[in-house]
Amino acid sequence: MEEPLLNTPLVDYHVALGARMAPFAGWNMPVQYSEGILAEHRHCRTATSLFDICHMGEFRVAGPQAAADLDRILARSVLDQALNTCRYNFLLNEQAGVLDDLIVYRFAEDEFFLVVNAGTRSHDVDWIQPRLSPSTSFEDESDAIAKLDLQGPQSAAVLAELGLSIDRQPAYYRFLTLTLWGLPLLISRTGYTGERGFELYFPVAAAGQVWETILATPGVKPAGLGARDTLRLEMGFPLYGHEMDETITPVEAGFGAMLKLEKPREFIGSEVLRDPVRGRPRRRLFGFRLESRRAARHGAAILIDGRQVGVVTSGAVAPSLDIAVAMGYVDAEFDLKPGDAVGLDAGKTVLPATVANTPFYTAGTARA
């Protein structure tokens, strides 16, 4: 029997706003509000959007061996990660397949905060916990922490209006902890939209209060997972379960340059990644630009001269570009370059597409 869907603490607020709710990773989540995905997407690209991301998981890992433990469990080092910074990272299995992609926050020399995907959270717990030293503490704080993403070019001004002046706001991929609105708040300059933005973490009991306070600020509108998906797709950001899963290595997913494979550092999966045979990418992730708004969808075959060479992992209209785009894996023997032509199977017809650089959308303000 299917497990009942989980609700975030904000479900009643979503319903009151006319949200269309749908299951995602075991959660009952808002896909869109009354204005629709396209309007929400454009609002985030031009103003400020607020996303309920309470479904994601948060772990706290601490102790004198925590850094060494995580350095062995995660694909990118945490030992050289500065305090008060965030780092995108990967949890790999022994075959170097991606069990999860996550963000690591370094609170202190001996204390870390891991933000993980909702659908992988419980498996991550089962994977990480037994691999920690006895002295390292592990807390799954997901149920106690609310997460809201405030994203858009005006988000810094919105935060300033809400009491955190721009000069106090964290820089890109940095975070700070403070008391704001009477609450202990963790705020990082991170996000999944390609726009300047922040991710806010605070006690779950305050979720409704914070949601309403932020939404009452002029220029802020709610956005659902539908817009979150088109925003991340325009940036070429991977979505776990689409561009990554436990059979795909981070090298295949295009993150090879982020990984430092030189010895002596060893991490789970490093042996395979260093092996010239076992570690050789079998496929590579590419972006594709179509010729109209007609989209190729997850699972569609990628064709060259009528022969299948790969599979689409995400595809939809890119609202900022007004054409459809896609991402997908192509067998490694095909060394594709931007501009190369492929076909994407849409059932009754094959849609012409060209290999494109990502991000597809290049005017994002994330680092501005």
Choice from 10, 19, 31, 78 touching other proteins (CB under 8 A): 31
Residues in region 39-58 near other proteins by CB under 8 A:
39
Q: How far is CA 104 from the centre of its chain?
A: 12
CA distances from 347 to 74, 133, 313 (A): 40, 52, 16
Instruction: Identify which range of 79-87, 250-258, 274-282, 312-320 contacts other proteins by CB under 8 A.
Output: 312-320
**3-state SS string for the chain:** CCCCCEECCCHHHHHHCCCEEEEECCEEEEEECCCCHHHHHHHHHHCEEEEECCCCEEEEEECCCHHHHHHHHECCCCCCCCCCEEEEEEEECCCCCEEEEEEEEEEECCEEEEEECCCCHHHHHHHHHHHCCCCCEEEECHHHEEEEEEECCCHHHHHHHCCCCHHHCCCCCEEEEEEECCEEEEEECCCCCCCCEEEEEEEHHHHHHHHHHHHCCCCEEECCHHHHHHHHHHHCCCCECCCECCCCCCCCCCCHHHCCCCCCCCCCCHHHHHCCCCCCCCEEEEEEEECCCCCCCCCCEEEECCEEEEEEEEEEEECCCCEEEEEEEEECCCCCCCCCEEEEECCCCEEEEEEECCCCCCCCCCCC
CB of 233 to other proteins, least distance (A): 10
CB of 160 to other proteins, least distance (A): 32
CB of 192 to other proteins, least distance (A): 17
Q: Is 310 in the site for other proteins (CB under 8 A)?
A: no
Instruction: Identify which range of 54-62, 99-107, 261-269, 316-324 contacts other proteins by CB under 8 A.
Output: 316-324
Q: Is 30 in the site for other proteins (CB under 8 A)?
A: no
Q: Is 317 in the site for other proteins (CB under 8 A)?
A: yes
Sketch the per residue contact string, 318 through 347, with other proteins: x for CB under 8 A, - otherwise: -x----x---------------------x-
**Separation between Cα atoms, residue 198 and residue 340, nearest integer Å:** 37
CB of 239 to other proteins, least distance (A): 14
Q: Is 114 in the site for other proteins (CB under 8 A)?
A: no
Considering the complex, state which of residue 18 and residue 338 has its C-beta at the smaller distance from other proteins: 18
Which tokens belong to 322?
């007004």
Q: Is 32 in the site for other proteins (CB under 8 A)?
A: yes
Considering the complex, state which of residue 6 and residue 38 has its C-beta at the smaller distance from other proteins: 38
Which tokens belong to 274?
């260093």
CB of 325 to other proteins, least distance (A): 12
Number of residues that bind other proteins (CB under 8 A): 19
CB of 341 to other proteins, least distance (A): 21
Q: Is 34 in the site for other proteins (CB under 8 A)?
A: no
112 within 8 A of 62, measured Cβ to Cβ: yes
CB of 38 to other proteins, least distance (A): 4
Which tokens belong to 75?
């694909």
Considering the complex, state which of residue 97 and residue 343 has its C-beta at the smaller distance from other proteins: 343
CB of 144 to other proteins, least distance (A): 32
Q: Is 292 in the site for other proteins (CB under 8 A)?
A: yes
Choice from 294, 304, 311, 334 touching other proteins (CB under 8 A): 294
Residues in region 182-241 near other proteins by CB under 8 A:
226, 230
Considering the complex, state which of residue 266 and residue 291 has its C-beta at the smaller distance from other proteins: 291
CB of 328 to other proteins, least distance (A): 17
Residues that bind other proteins (CB under 8 A): 20, 31-32, 36-39, 226, 230, 292-295, 297, 316-317, 319, 324, 346
